[in-house]
Amino acid sequence: MTSIVPSARLVGLLQGRGPVLVLTGAGVSQESGIATFRDASGIWEGIDPMQVATPRAFAADPEFVWRFYDARRAQAATVEPNPAHHAVAAIEATGRTFLLATQNVDGLHERAGSRSLVRLHGSLWRLRCTRCGDEHEDLRPKLAPLPPHCAACGGMLRPGVVWFEEPLPMIEFARAERAAREAELVFVVGTSSLVYPAASLQTVGVSSGGYVVEINPVRTPFSDDASEHLSGPAGVVLPALLKAAGIPMDRAA
Ligand code: OAD
C-alpha cells in the first residue's frame, strides 16, 4: 500500500515561487512500460552494460550495440508518457524558475511537454557521426540497415547517448549543477542514485540548503540525506503532491 503524506513544508514550497529542480531516472518511465536498469527484470539483468554501453563495446561490435539501441528506440516509440512525466511538466507550467535534469534517453519527458530540460545521458533519438561529428535527430522507430551511416560523409553513426567511461555533456551538466545550487526545492525521482556524476546533483542540492525530496518505492543510498522520502510509484506520488498543492495537472503543453 502506497502511503503519500507530504509534509506541510513540502506543500508550502511547492505552492511558492522559489526555483525548482527535478532530477529523474529510469523509474519515472517504469509506469509507461519501460524497464529500469537495476530492478528485478531490469535491463542490466538481461545484458552486461559493458557489452552494449561502452565505447569499447561499440568499437568491437557496432551492429550488436546498435541492435540493443534500436530495440530500445522501437519500444520507446510505442509507449506513452505517464502521469509522472505530466506532473513534472505541470510544475514547469506554473512559470517559476524550473529545470528538469534527466538521465533518461527515451524522450518521454519531452513528449509530456517538458521544455526546460537537460539530458545528462543524451537521447535515443539523436545520432552522431563517428567520422565528421555531425549530430541530428532521427525519430524513426526502426533504423535499417544497422549500423546506420552518415548522409554527409558516409562515416558510421553512433547512438547519441552517453556511455560508461564517457564524460557527461559539459554545458548540460554545468547547467544542472547551477540549478542544484540555486534550487529551493529539488525532487529526485525514480533513480537508484548509484550512477555518478548524475547522482552528485542531489548532494549539491542538500549541501546548498535546498529542500530535497526523494520519490521512490524503495530506499536508496541517498535516502538518509534527503529532506523527505516519499515512498511509492512516481506516477501516483507526483500527481498526489500536485493535488495537495493545488497545481493543475493539465496546464502543461
Ligand atoms: P536504475 O535502474 O538504477 O534505478 C531505477 C530506480 O527507479 C530504482 O531506485 C527503483 O526503485 C526506482 N523505481 C522503479 N519503479 C519506479 C516508479 N514507478 N516510480 C519511481 N521510482 C521507481 O536507473 P537509473 O537510476 O536511472 O546509464 O540509472 C542511472 C543510469 O544507469 C542510467 O541512465 C543508465 C544506467 O546504466 C547509462 O546507460 C550510461
Residuewise pLDDT in 10s, the chain (253 residues): 345 788 999 999 999 999 999 999 999 999 999 999 999 989 999 899 999 999 999 999 999 999 999 999 999 999 999 999 999 999 999 999 999 999 999 999 999 999 999 999 999 999 999 999 999 999 999 999 999 999 999 999 999 999 999 999 999 999 999 999 999 999 999 999 999 999 999 999 999 999 999 999 999 999 999 999 999 999 999 999 999 999 999 865 5
Whether residue 144 is contained in a domain is answered as yes
Ligand 1 center from residue 28 Cα (angstroms) = 8
Q: Specify the CATH number for the domain of residue 135.
A: 3.30.1600.10
* Ligand 1 atom closest to 36 (CA): 2
Do both 203 and 242 map to the same domain? yes
Do both 228 and 147 map to the same domain? no
User: Is-contact 137 120, C-beta < 8 A?
Assistant: no
The response to whether residue 26 sits with its C-beta less than 6 Å from ligand 1 reads yes
Do both 64 and 149 map to the same domain? yes
Structural domains counted in the chain: 2
- pTM over 0.85? The answer is yes
Do both 184 and 240 map to the same domain? yes
pLDDT of residue 1: 36
Whether residue 110 is contained in a domain is answered as yes
201's CB contacts (< 8 A; 6+ apart) are 21, 23, 101, 176, 177, 180
Take atom 35 of ligand 1 and give the residue whose Cα is closest. 37
Residue 99 lies in domain = 8-34+81-121+168-252
Whether residue 1 is contained in a domain is answered as no
